Amino acid sequence: MSSILIVEDDKNQRAALKDMLEQNKYSVLEAEDGVQGLTMALREHPNLILLDVRMPGMDGMEMMHALRNNPWGKNASIIILTNYDNTEAQLVQITTDKPSYYLLKANTPLDTIADKIREILEPDKI
């Protein structure tokens, strides 16, 4: 069973993602911010990370950059989920750190997120 780490500070958003993932038979790990998320990712090595951008403490961009500087995290699969437009500096970092997908939460239904997850974790079934 594939494991997915949700790094999201909004409790309701995290719960909705967790429910969707569990319905799709994924094992779910949760973190409330980038510090927790980075620690958990490096310890648990999930198959995929769903990463919010704006969070207190370490934001998602900082977490992704820290992961890319780690031997395991260098190739970790990441889907960025956000509700905000990015600054030019963040867009440069996204290009440099290469997430698998960058999705706007407000414009992306949970079914579409599930489809993107399957594309990454189960490409032979698509």
So what's the pLDDT on residue 28? 97
Look-up: residue for tokens 């905000």? 84
Could you report the per-residue pLDDT of 13-56, keeping only the tens digit for each? 999 999 999 999 999 999 999 999 999 999 999 999 999 988 88
Helix, strand, or coil (residue 46): coil
For strands 78-82 and 101-104, give the pairing: parallel
Which of 10, 5, 114 is CA-nearest to residue 55? Answer: 10
* Average pLDDT of the chain to the nearest whole number: 86
Looking at the DSSP assignment, which residues form a beta bridge with residue 29? 5
Look-up: residue for tokens 């909705």? 16
Domains and CATH numbers, the chain: 3-125 (3.40.50.2300)
